[in-house]
Amino acid sequence: MKEFSAVGKRIPKTDAPDKVTGRATYGQDFKLPGMLHGAIRYSDHAHARILNIDTSKAEALEGVKCVVTADDVPETRFGFYKDNMPLKKDVVRSHRDEIAGVVAVNEMIARQAVKLIKIEYEILPAVFNVADAMAENAPLIQPNRDSNHLITNTYNHGDVEQGEAESDVVVEVTCKLPYVNHASMETCVIVAKFDHSQNLTLWSTTQIPFLLQKDLGAALGMSPKNIRILQPTIGGAFGRELDIYPYHPIAAIMAKKAQVPVRLCFSREEEFRAGPQRQPVEVTIRAGAKNNGDLTFRDVSMTLDVGAYVSWGSTTPMVMMETTASFYRVPHVRFKADCVYTNNLITGAMRGYGNPQSSFYVESAMDMLAEKLGMDPIQFRIQNANQPNTITEQGLKITSCGLEDCLKALAERAETKLEPAAQPHLKRGRGVGGTLNVGGGARIYRSDGCGATVKVDDFGHVSLITGSTEIGQGSETVLAQMVAEILSVPVDDVRVINSDTDVKMWDVGVHASRTTFIAGNAACLAAKEALGQIFETASELLGASPDSLKAENGQIIAPDGKSVSLSKVVRSRHFRSGGQMVFGQAFYDPPTELVDKDSYHGNISPAYGFGMQMADVEVDTETGQVRVLKLICAKDIGRAINPMAVEGQIEGGAQMGLGYALSEEVVIKEGKVMNPNFVDYRLFTSADMPEIENIMIESNDPEGPFGAKGIGEMGSSCVAAAVTNAIYDAVGVRLTQPPMTPERVLAALDTKAAG
Amino acid sequence: MLRLPPFEYHAPKSIAEAVALKAEYGELAMYVAGGTDLFPNMKRQQFTPQNLIGLRKIPELFQLVFDQDGTGLTLGAGVSLNEVAEHPDILKNYPALAKAASLVSAPQLRNMGTIGGNLCLDTRCTYYNQSYQWRKALGFCLKKSGDTCWVARSSPKCLAVSSSDCAPVMVALEAEFCLASPAGEAVKTRIVPASEFYKNDGANFLNKTADELLVSIRLPTYYSGKSGIGWKMNYRKLSRRNAIDFPLLGVATAFRQKDNGDCAEARIVLGAVGSSPLRADEAEKILQDGSLTLERIEDAVQAAAKLAKPLDNTDMTLSYRKKMASRFITEAFNEVLKV
């Protein structure tokens, strides 16, 4: 294999020094001359009719520039189901509903003024769970609908009844997965500015700059072509910014009325209250296998509370159905998901999408089957593992596939038995859990493409202008490594430009573990085109054919050993009569398809990633506390463009997954968040983290850039599954409701003891 | 993000200057030491001072002096929690205090936070430690601006929970707190035993007038002899995570053992189960002047656990916290007595 100069190297993230020393300009640091500050007034009730809004006291407060309400915006609706509006006029449907906004000289006065807005309500009956929302005579949450039932997603392959008949063992388990929050270090922030021609410029922490242009145009009743979006350094997003939310148009409405730039920045409480959450799910899985260990069927049905307005949470069944249908080889599968409106929080995209949920129930059932069969859980999975170059029943074209290698790596580690605990009330156990994740995007939009331009200047400096977005995942570094590899220049000579919709070419957004793969392929194509131009001019200078040249350490070298520097080639091409610059452009859209809208069959990703984790835990049977001793992560990543960055993704994902497994939950009481702060919402801390071992399986994907596949989401998806299986191994109780808190563990132990 | 409301900051250089400022501004002023609990509460408007009297520039507050004659320790209220946790002489002579201090929140907050601040920590409640808007929407509670206790609507008094890790240890070690207040130009001081400093009322939880300042803590000496003879002490904390969390239950213990291994004196204090640290007198009596049989220990555990009447206003469910009291106290006893 060719030795790479930049790809595969452990390079610290190029933006890391500025971030850790506070030099990076985050959205929250961003200021414009004359900028004022906005604050939002939310609903005081989960469901109520607005009778009157009195803004006079707020307007009279010194320092207030203006107050905005629904009267300041044309009656527009946005969202997939056109069920949301920027500011609510007649009815509020949840505690997150925005009613008015204040623009003032500083954030404090704006927030003070918001409290002075007097709203009279007529309180309406509300529903806070799926059963109540689906009851006869339940209050209707959205107008113009017959019921609160939003949609049913169904999927089938094979014949589940036949599968069950063929089964020697059958298991069933019902799991309840919680709300959790993205908990990005930086809260949502936006600065909006109109120029005199009514062009809107938005500085936003969005993950979807181009789709936001379109959605925002619809929400504001203006043309997307008059909207430009700029992205400052983003302090984490994890899916939170994958959709338009009311605060985006509200910032624009404020800036328009105030006629100056306006900044809107969420408090942590607003982040919990008004931002999206991970989709909670109540799910029952039935699954079977034959005595020889072959899987026979899976039958899954679930309900999803999507809150009062629809965002991406309602599409998580697409991902859960993919895992249900295609993770391990199952001949007969049936899947049904019902999405229902309630007066609760909204649900959105979050790292792993539906996979932390589906991995939990699928892998719980896998361990239950293995136990009934008396098989080793890892060997049972190896027997049923997906294989390279196969097409699943759902139509996923699995090309590279390292699942079996991941499992074998864990089996090898499992040969070292757990040391017994120090005291009799401490019990140790070991469990595995895995995930199937799209490895290079997901065609959920008509295009899953990304554009790139590579230009080389007269000094040999390279700019990659990419459509993709950096949200802390490290894309700037790995994209620079790929371009540097192709052009044979040092990584430091490549700068990645990715923050302006007027400059960069289209990209669908940062999601679905797609940036390394899709933006990487686009960058490589553009770099190759630039290299072609360099070779063309170099061939004149070196008197050798372009095909015979090679690039090495910033030099273009002919077969006879003569060489010329890359920058000299660029200058020679540029500074001549009829001169040309060196620049390559490409748009990469993967060879995938939208799923069929009824059957949900189709190949949505050009590659699929697989990951397994093995958790060693210690359960305190007196207190119910679970300590994770070690987490071994074996991931099929195609190829590590930057092993250090891969480790960062896996370890960061592990932290998020451990929080999902053991400590994090957004607690909601009658639609109101009870723990909207970082004291009561319990993120997994560094003091709780176990030792982590990373095993990278390089399956070298045929379509991926340098063989790479996406790794952004996988790290967080299968932790909870591994932990619940490990707890079962330790103390013989099956926890079905993350987070597996001491109280839940203890209650399960007590139930077991009571027989 | 939530911003701090505006305030005027004063930086007195002596205790006299500090208490004089407090007398001048009265209710409009608050003292600030580390600020790790005060500032978040100001952001959420539990506290609305217009003047803050900073204590950082007052040298007396930072003293940590062991008496020459070995009779005890005087600990300035401004000493950081990390210093209390790591000071070799505190680790040696008052290991329970060092351990309690080391278990408060996280390293950064222990560097800022002070022992005095932790001892005066505001009581906590699910319905109180929320933002202004959150509390306003529900209706203000008994502890701040309202007349309803959302934890138990019939309760005449506030049920917010004492959440200090160090307070139960101070009560168990029978520390004395020195409070300063203005007396004309001068300063007068008052000594209050730790057990009398705390009141079991969430809204009015300190025996301290508004203009008094906690300046120091006086700890008597506890001799620990060789081979298990003498004093043994411990603090055990139940919390969800290994950092950040306030205690769900804290158990401070101090036992003096006789030459024959019998218990000469027992001190057992529970934290985070009421609005003040609760001393388990009954349990102490059971253990006092007798041999430490498993049966007596079990009786003492049950007597102590009776004190814990958890309410639905902190982390974890009621039933869990009820169950935990006896189990966790048992483990706390076992840990210190190495039974």
- 3-class SS letters over A546-572: HHHCEEECCEEECCCCCEEEHHHHHHH
Instruction: Identify which of B145, B167, B147, B171 has the alpha carbon closest to the alpha carbon of residue B157.
Output: B147
Instruction: Note whether A267 contacts B131, CB cutoff 8 Å.
Output: yes
- Respond yes or no on whether ipTM tops 0.90: no
Q: What is the pLDDT of residues A704-750, one digit of tens each?
A: 999 999 999 999 999 999 999 999 999 999 999 999 999 999 999 99
Q: Is the CB of residue B60 less than 8 Å from the CB of residue B15?
A: yes
* Closest Cα in chain B, distance from residue A629 (Å): 14
- State the pLDDT confidence band at A665, using cuts at 50, 70 and 90: very high
Of A266, A622, A743, the CB nearest to B316: A743
Residues of A in Cβ contact (< 8 Å) with B327 = 622-623
Q: What is the pLDDT of residues A716-727, one digit of tens each?
A: 999 999 999 999
Asked if the C-beta of A651 comes within 8 angstroms of chain B's C-beta atoms, the answer is no
DSSP A515: I
Q: Is the CB of residue A548 less than 8 Å from the CB of residue A538?
A: no
H or E stretch at A506: none
Closest residue on chain B to A683 (Cα): B241
- State the pLDDT confidence band at A201, using cuts at 50, 70 and 90: very high
Tokens 């993919």 belong to residue: A322
For helices A377-384 and A403-414, give the axis angle rounded to 10 degrees: 160
Q: How far apart are CA A621 and CA A731, in angstroms?
A: 8
Which neighbouring-strand residues pair with A610?
Answer: A436, A636
Mean pLDDT of chain B: 92
Section A588-597 average pLDDT: 96
For helices A355-373 and A719-731, give the axis angle rounded to 10 degrees: 30
Instruction: Note whether B242 contacts A685, CB cutoff 8 Å.
Output: yes
The pLDDT value given to residue B225: 65
Backbone phi and psi for residue B225, each to the nearest 5 degrees, phi listed first: -80, -175
Q: Is the CB of residue A496 less than 8 Å from the CB of residue A466?
A: yes
Q: Is the CB of residue A725 less than 8 Å from the CB of residue A431?
A: yes
Q: Taking 60 as the threshold, does the pLDDT of residue B228 lie above it?
A: no
Q: How far apart are CA A413 and CA A166, in angstroms?
A: 34
Three-state secondary-structure class, residue A211: helix
The pLDDT value given to residue B311: 84
Which neighbouring-strand residues pair with A494?
Answer: A462
Of B1, B129, B241, the CB nearest to A267: B1
- State the pLDDT confidence band at B309, using cuts at 50, 70 and 90: confident
The domain locations on chain A are 16-23+449-588, 31-124+188-237+241-266, 277-442+595-753
Q: Is the CB of residue A454 less than 8 Å from the CB of residue A628?
A: no
Closest residue on chain B to A748 (Cα): B320
Backbone phi and psi for residue A143, each to the nearest 5 degrees, phi listed first: -70, 165
Q: What is the pLDDT of residues A341-366, one digit of tens each?
A: 999 999 999 999 999 999 999 999 99
The pLDDT value given to residue A2: 65
Query: Which whole-number Å values give the CA distances from A414 to A117, A613, A657, A722, A729, in the listed order?
Result: 62, 12, 21, 13, 13
Of B243, B316, B323, the CB nearest to A685: B243
Best mutation target among A102, A190, A623, A667 (most B Cβ atoms within 10 Å) is: A623
**N- to C-terminal Cα distance for chain A?**
60
Best mutation target among A29, A678, A685, A749 (most B Cβ atoms within 10 Å) is: A685
Q: How far apart are CA B109 and CA B115, in angstroms?
A: 12
* Closest Cα in chain A, distance from residue B105 (Å): 10
The pLDDT value given to residue B310: 85
Instruction: Note whether A741 contacts B243, CB cutoff 8 Å.
Output: no
* Closest Cα in chain B, distance from residue A426 (Å): 13
Instruction: Note whether B131 contacts A676, CB cutoff 8 Å.
Output: yes
Amino acid at A290: K
What is the dihedral angle through the alpha carbons of A154, A156, A161, A166, rounded to the nearest 10 degrees?
Answer: -140
Section A16-29 average pLDDT: 94
Chain B interface residues facing chain A, Cβ-Cβ under 8 Å?
1-3, 5-6, 106, 126, 129-134, 136-138, 238, 240-246, 315-317, 319-320, 323-324, 327-328, 330-331
Q: What is the pLDDT of residues A308-323, one digit of tens each?
A: 999 999 999 999 999 9
Residues of B in Cβ contact (< 8 Å) with A685 = 106, 241-244
Is the bond preceding residue A739 a cis peptide, omega within 30 degrees? yes
CATH topology of domain A277-442+595-753: Aldehyde Oxidoreductase; domain 4 (3.30.365)
Of A266, A267, A746, the CB nearest to B320: A746
Please, is A134 exposed, middle or buried when counting C-beta atoms within 10 Å of its C-beta (0-12, 13-18, 19+)? Answer: middle
Of A108, A680, A742, the CB nearest to B320: A742
- Within 8 A by CB and 6+ apart from A627, the residues are A617, A618, A619, A620, A690
Closest residue on chain A to B106 (Cα): A687
Closest residue on chain B to A45 (Cα): B137
Query: Which whole-number Å values give the CA distances from B107 to A656, B55, B86, B103, B235, in the listed order?
Result: 22, 21, 12, 9, 19
Q: Is the CB of residue A511 less than 8 Å from the CB of residue A537?
A: no
Q: What is the pLDDT of residues A513-568, one digit of tens each?
A: 999 999 999 999 999 999 999 999 999 999 999 999 999 999 999 999 999 999 99
> Which domains, from first to last, does chain B contain?
59-120+161-220 (3.30.465.10), 230-337 (3.30.390.50)
Q: Is the CB of residue A745 less than 8 Å from the CB of residue A626?
A: yes
Instruction: Note whether B6 contacts A687, CB cutoff 8 Å.
Output: no
Instruction: Note whether A680 contacts B315, CB cutoff 8 Å.
Output: yes
Query: Which whole-number Å values give the CA distances from A698 to A92, A217, A523, A715, in the listed order?
Result: 51, 43, 21, 16
Query: Which whole-number Å values give the CA distances from A131 to A127, A136, A282, A283, A671, in the listed order?
Result: 9, 10, 11, 14, 15
- 3-class SS letters over chain B: CCCCCCCEEECCCCHHHHHHHHHHHHHHEEEECCCCCHHHHHHCCCCCCCEEEECCCCHHHHCEEECCCCCEEEEECCCEHHHHHHCHHHHHHCHHHHHHHHCCCCHHHHHHCEHHHHHCCCCECCCCCCCHHHHHHHCCECCCCCCECCCCCCCCCCCCECCCCHHHHHHHCCCEEEEEEEECCEEEEEEEEHHHHECCCCCCCECCCCCCEEEEEEEECCCECCCCCEEEEEEEEECCCCCCCCCCEEEEEEEEECCCCCEEEEEEEEECCCCCCEECHHHHHHHCCECCCHHHHHHHHHHHHCCCCCCCCCCCCHHHHHHHHHHHHHHHHHHHHCC
Architecture of domain A31-124+188-237+241-266: Alpha-Beta Complex (3.90)
Predicted TM-score of the model (pTM): 0.94
Instruction: Note whether A268 contacts B316, CB cutoff 8 Å.
Output: no
Three-state secondary-structure class, residue A357: helix
Residues of B in Cβ contact (< 8 Å) with A678 = 244
Residues of B in Cβ contact (< 8 Å) with A747 = 319-320
Q: Taking 60 as the threshold, does the pLDDT of residue A636 lie above it?
A: yes
Section B257-285 average pLDDT: 93
Instruction: Identify which of B92, B111, A302, B93 has the alpha carbon closest to the alpha carbon of residue B101.
Output: B111
Three-state secondary-structure class, residue A222: coil
Instruction: Note whether A624 contacts B320, CB cutoff 8 Å.
Output: yes
Q: What is the pLDDT of residues A68-118, one digit of tens each?
A: 999 998 888 998 899 999 999 999 999 999 999 999 999 999 999 999 999
The pLDDT value given to residue B227: 58
Residues of A in Cβ contact (< 8 Å) with B106 = 685, 687
Q: Taking 80 as the threshold, does the pLDDT of residue B338 lie above it?
A: no
Residues of A in Cβ contact (< 8 Å) with B6 = 108
Q: How far apart are CA B276 and CA B250, in angstroms?
A: 12
The pLDDT value given to residue B38: 96
Section B176-202 average pLDDT: 95
Question: 3.40.1280.10, 3.30.390.10, 3.30.365.10, 3.30.1360.120: which CATH number matches A16-23+449-588?
Answer: 3.30.365.10
Which neighbouring-strand residues pair with A698?
Answer: none
Tokens 């500083």 belong to residue: A106
- The strand pair at A262-265 and A36-42 is best described as parallel
Instruction: Identify which of B211, B207, B191 has the alpha carbon closest to the alpha carbon of residue B199.
Output: B207
